[in-house]
Amino acid sequence: MATYKQIQDFVKSRYGFTPKTCWIAHTKEICGLRVNVAPNRYSANKREVPCPPGKIQAIKNAFRYFGMI
């Protein structure tokens, strides 16, 4: 399992943007991967900052690269 930093570095080098950690967590949920609840999360039921639809595919590609999906 890759770290969030590794995923951020991969996406930055391939797609030119650095995904926020909350975007990575949201995309992990979409893919059915386990996500720990951050201690600073405001609501356990609702995402305050969901991943923009145009960024999801790049993050999923990083998951594939690291063998997560």
Q: How sure is the predictor about 37, in pLDDT bands with cuts at 50, 70 and 90?
A: confident
| Neighbouring residues of 17: CB distance < 8 A, sequence distance ≥ 6 | 11, 55, 58
How high does pLDDT run on average in the chain? Answer: 93
Is the model more confident about 10 or about 49? 10
What pLDDT shows up at residue 14? 98
Q: Is the pLDDT of residue 36 over 90?
A: no
Q: Is the pLDDT of residue 45 over 80?
A: no
Q: DSSP states of 30-59 as a string?
A: HTT---PPPTT-S-SSS-SSPPPHHHHHHH
